[in-house]
Amino acid sequence: MENVIFEIKDGVGYITMNRPEAMNAMNAALLGELSEVLRKCRGDQAVRVLVLKGNGRAFCAGGDVRWMQENQADSLWQAGFHSLVGQLNQVIMLIRNLPKPVIAAVHGFASGAGFSLALACDLRLAATGTRFNQAYVNLSLTPDGGSTYFLTMLLGPAKALELIFTGRMVDAKEALELGLLNEIVQEDELVSKAAEMATKLAQGPAIAYGQAKKLVYEAHRQALAEQLELEQESIVKASLSQDFREGLAAFSEKRKPVFKGN
């Protein structure tokens, strides 16, 4: 792969978008490689947590505007653009449906679909100087990559529309205050902090994490009674795991549990 760097260490898979010359702007090649890596990680027991980051000066500049400029006049533009956004949708759904925690380590800026990509992750760390914006309005486009969904869920309609209508920059401090981030760290500590968080999660109960993630993302769709039933089914399923037995044993023996993800 040329546009994505992938490595595994201590149960953590590190996915690095690697188009630094374009500030990791999304094109078909990058999105295709992201999909390929995410699919492999789903079934790879060696990967228990993922960290998504960008190489160079930014996390992700969104869609590749240069590609748009070069291809907009093409007679096949509509089909090509439709296909590109479809690839982005696949990446977003792969992240959300992955039964493993995904951490976004964001630096520089995350614009447009890059903002969406960060929002699709389960946890988000950002460097102090990071900026976010819904850049679509500057190109007379509507949001994609789930921005309307994620921002509405996290902020409510009014605030979501403010960010979409204005396209204004949101710095890391405001993003944290809005609830879009879990933590702000110094830029030179971003990767190490993300690795520290991911390594700790990788030592946790993988089955329970996967089930909890699914429950949280289903919660807004369900009535309370339905969610209670889903929780009941999930906790019973988790209780059949070897990790549950290890948790009970560790509790009785007053020691730290050693979870193996089964």
DSSP code string of 150-176: HHHHHH-HHHHHHHHHH---EEHHHHH
Residue 54 lies in a domain: yes
- Say what the pLDDT of residue 35 is: 98
- Say what the pLDDT of residue 254 is: 93
- Say what the pLDDT of residue 202 is: 96
Judgement on whether residues 32 and 55 belong to the same structural domain of the protein = yes
The CA angle 113-173-212, to the nearest 5 degrees, is 65
Total domains present in the chain: 2
Q: Average pLDDT of each block of 10 consecutive residues along the chain (262 residues)? A: 96 98 97 98 96 98 92 88 95 98 98 97 98 95 96 97 97 98 97 97 95 94 93 93 93 93 85
Residue 260 lies in a domain: no
- Say what the pLDDT of residue 76 is: 86
Report whether 2 contacts 34 (CB < 8 A). Answer: no
- Say what the pLDDT of residue 262 is: 85
Look up the domain containing 8 and give its range: 4-202
- Say what the pLDDT of residue 186 is: 97
35 vs 110: CA distance, rounded Å: 19
- Say what the pLDDT of residue 155 is: 97
Judgement on whether residues 117 and 247 belong to the same structural domain of the protein = no
